[in-house]
Structure 1
């Protein structure tokens, strides 16, 4: 039986052994590390821990050298993406009433904290960030949460900056973004599949950040749920969802370019630049309208689109447009459910249309496990991609 003296000697030896184990191999925490952990904890206090659920990313096919990884899972109905100046990722929802904020607090390119920053909203599909404030688009209103990154725990009630958009829910959900002119751009979809309507419908509008001076920028846009500006020319490019009920292969969805205010892109009279609408096309010839910069697949439902501004992708991918195709809903053979790329020549001309990432749709079984929605370029040159079916945000990057 050990004596008291032996036990005392053993305790002393264990104490000195533990104090001497502070090497890199042992994972010991230095004084500097303790300071960093404390600072990081203060800055990112609270929030719900994100536990990554594994999705079948092995089915996704990308060009050689590109990889896809989980950035966040469990983000219900993840739709539009916006990034704050401190790296917070804001994620909207169309089918739920909440907007969420994600943070990667340890710098491993995977989000580990999530906050609900707004709830009880009416289809809050659009989010945009400007000068510390988060803007949110409902069906008929534009809201603002001030100084949001410093108030993730207690964001308060949003300020209403505009509340005069139509209340129609058909194509009423909105994508929003600030343009190079400092104005907030807000689309207003057609309240139908195909119809003539008041001028506010089937348009893209813009306003000052305080909600004043709302005006229609372009007309004839059936339902745009994604746009971006060419960083070389500051010209607006946008996707548009083509009408339904003309068969599996008509009309094409569209990628359009709007270098100036007042342009008309054809809806409801003309589709894809050359297809006269069977109901309304007799009123105006297609030559009166601006044709698409690039026709896309029929019923692919193009949503978010972004110019790639970074330099981490190989040269052939730079300065081109990437489009998240949500996928068809009533085509006899499903199409879309992928990310496509449109090369841009001389900063103004679209040159072709090709698949960049696919595999969310099983063509043989005609079942999709995911539906891409929006793209967001990160400071490291990777893309985030939201998925409202898999409730996830992915990161696409080039590894070479």
Structure 2
């Protein structure tokens, strides 16, 4: 049964390709951010300003969560989650925690164990998206503590962490603020979204979709943005030569966050292996952009097409929701979290 608050969400305004539909998977999930899927189908959800971590459980298998358990509260922007070998990992701004064998413990919550505490504690771009790679290591971004600045590593980077030995290795640098990444299903390469700097006008620079082909490679920040947009404060011709151009410019100020390669079987063949990107939406542009889910179609590792998949959270200049992350369920449907509407949606497909 939907509450009065959930009835107020105008899902009928969401536009999707033919055959797709959207429904409410969970409501009243305060400030829902990154999601992770447990072995038994539990959907774990982080938050940023709320400071909470949730477990959403669909006990009757009707594709709507009917039980919500608060795993943690009063944490320091615990936006990032990863589920690995039966355990849940939660990233605060400055610490990563480990909840052992959590699905078998629920509704009881295991005591969190500290995994790593050598992260900066800056609030600015401090929230995280985390994920285990095909190499079994935990990938963690550290955003720039500013709009634009030239601070040393580990700022403006993505590193990978061996959670047993605690050894950390830089994977990518010159990355302003990545809040979404995934691994190519064939090559295993890391692909990530990166938010461009602000205060260069409505149309510069673009957010980026990037690909890591060499460990430690540089992606330009703060010296140069996109392929060749010189930073008005920090441009350095020699350092700009380090820049790896993006695979795709996503649009300025769209706030590209969570992304995932679609490996489910429910959607038609043309969606297999494509990337879904949640765009949180602009806050400092004269006319708003973003507030949608985009699809990137690849031919191998080359971008073939970039187009809207789910739109309608932005109506004119008013938005009623802000997509944050995407997650494929076991049946092949796609979850989308929304930290403004405090909701998680489910997008499913049935042949028309």
TM-score (norm 2): 0.96
Separation in structure 2 between the aligned mates of residue 96 and residue 293 of structure 1, nearest angstrom:
34
Instruction: Tell me how far 1:352 sits from its aligned partner.
Output: 3.0
> How do residues 1-400 of structure 1 correspond to structure 2 at under 5 angstroms?
53-54=6-7, 55-210=9-164, 212-284=166-238, 286-346=240-300, 348-363=301-316, 366-400=317-351
Separation in structure 1 between the aligned mates of residue 192 and residue 169 of structure 2, nearest angstrom:
18
More strand by share: 2
Question: 8 Å contact 2:81–2:91 — kept in the other structure?
Answer: yes
More helix by share: 1
Question: 8 Å contact 2:33–2:324 — kept in the other structure?
Answer: yes
Instruction: Tell me how far 1:284 sits from its aligned partner.
Output: 3.0
Any idea what SS the aligned residue of 1:53 has?
helix
Question: 8 Å contact 1:323–1:341 — kept in the other structure?
Answer: yes
Question: 8 Å contact 2:102–2:110 — kept in the other structure?
Answer: no
Question: 8 Å contact 1:339–1:358 — kept in the other structure?
Answer: yes
Question: 8 Å contact 1:276–1:285 — kept in the other structure?
Answer: no
Shift of the 151–255 alpha-carbon distance from structure 1 to 2, 3 Å rule, reads same
Where does the alignment leave 5 or more consecutive residues of structure 1 unmatched?
Answer: 1-48
Question: 8 Å contact 1:50–1:113 — kept in the other structure?
Answer: no
Larger radius of gyration: 1
Question: 8 Å contact 1:102–1:113 — kept in the other structure?
Answer: yes
Question: 8 Å contact 2:219–2:242 — kept in the other structure?
Answer: no
Instruction: Tell me how far 1:361 sits from its aligned partner.
Output: 0.4
Separation in structure 2 between the aligned mates of residue 82 and residue 223 of structure 1, nearest angstrom:
20
Separation in structure 1 between the aligned mates of residue 101 and residue 307 of structure 2, nearest angstrom:
40
Instruction: Tell me how far 1:282 sits from its aligned partner.
Output: 3.0
Separation in structure 1 between the aligned mates of residue 134 and residue 264 of structure 2, nearest angstrom:
18
Any idea what SS the aligned residue of 1:352 has?
strand
Instruction: Tell me how far 1:283 sits from its aligned partner.
Output: 4.1
Any idea what SS the aligned residue of 2:46 has?
strand
Q: Which moved more, 1:133-142 or 1:147-156?
A: 147-156
Question: 8 Å contact 1:144–1:160 — kept in the other structure?
Answer: yes
* Deviations 1:324-371 (CA, angstroms, capped at 9, x unpaired): 00000110100000000111112x1112321111000012xx110000
Any idea what SS the aligned residue of 1:150 has?
helix
RMSD value over aligned CA atoms?
1.4
Separation in structure 2 between the aligned mates of residue 342 and residue 211 of structure 1, nearest angstrom:
36
Separation in structure 1 between the aligned mates of residue 284 and residue 346 of structure 2, nearest angstrom:
29
- State the aligned residue count: 349
Instruction: Tell me how far 1:152 sits from its aligned partner.
Output: 2.2
Question: 8 Å contact 2:258–2:324 — kept in the other structure?
Answer: yes
Separation in structure 2 between the aligned mates of residue 237 and residue 330 of structure 1, nearest angstrom:
26
Shift of the 173–309 alpha-carbon distance from structure 1 to 2, 3 Å rule, reads same
